Amino acid sequence: MTDAQLAEAERLMTVTGEIDEKLIPKDFGLSRRAYYKELTKVIEESDVVLQVLDARDPEATRSEEIEREAVKNGKRLIQVLNKIDLVPMTEVKKWQRHLGSEFPCVIIEAQFKHKGAQTNASREKNLKRKEKHGGGGIKEAED
């Protein structure tokens, strides 16, 4: 990323309120350059790059910079779709197909379930079951 691109990104983030100008350290540009230098070094030394994406908004959590560096260095990039328990499985599968068209994509649910915990997917399943059976008292078995 060039100095001009860093300055423009910083300006836009300040204008949109994403960052407070008073909180930006004077050496912010240097820190960003140091970050990208380190990122490039890590990718160069890696065999495989895992990019973890939030299933609630995968596009917002993607990094084109990481993808570009991985491809440029001939590294295998695998996208990991995380937090799949927070979105309907139909959406997860759509995202997996979409993302998988560019790079391999695996899905994981990294949440440890405890007794009585109910994910969005299981809530959705229960709602469908209740609708199908007229809202009757069908109860989901606890794990």
Q: Are residues 12 and 68 in the same domain?
A: no
Q: Are residues 40 and 67 in the same domain?
A: no
Q: Are residues 38 and 80 in the same domain?
A: no
Q: How many CA atoms lie within 13 A of 9 on its CB side?
A: 10
Q: Are residues 64 and 117 in the same domain?
A: yes
Q: Are residues 28 and 84 in the same domain?
A: no
More confident residue, 124 or 138: 124
Mean of the per-residue pLDDT values for the chain? 78
Q: How far apart are CA 115 and CA 143, in angstroms?
A: 7
42-60 pLDDT, tens digit per residue, is: 999 999 999 999 999 999 9
Q: Are residues 59 and 41 in the same domain?
A: no
Q: What share of the chain is helix, strand, coil (3-state, %, to 5)?
A: 50, 10, 35
Q: How far apart are CA 83 and CA 107, in angstroms?
A: 8
Q: How far apart are CA 118 and CA 139, in angstroms?
A: 12
Q: Are residues 68 and 39 in the same domain?
A: no
64-86 pLDDT, tens digit per residue, is: 989 999 999 999 999 999 999 99
Confidence category of residue 112, pLDDT binned at 50, 70, 90? low
Q: How far is CA 61 from CA 26, 64, 66, in A?
A: 27, 10, 11
81-92 pLDDT, tens digit per residue, is: 999 999 999 999
- Structurally, the chain folds into a number of domains equal to 2
Confidence category of residue 142, pLDDT binned at 50, 70, 90? very low
Q: Are residues 113 and 76 in the same domain?
A: yes
Q: Are residues 6 and 38 in the same domain?
A: yes
122 dihedral zone (left: phi>0; alpha: psi -120 to 50; beta): alpha
Q: Are residues 107 and 127 in the same domain?
A: yes
Q: Are residues 40 and 58 in the same domain?
A: no
Q: Look up the domain containing 63 and give its range.
A: 48-132
Q: pLDDT over 90 for what percent of the chain?
A: 42
Kindly state whether residue 137 falls inside one of the protein's structural domains.
no
pTM: 0.58
Structure confidence at residue 4 (pLDDT): 74
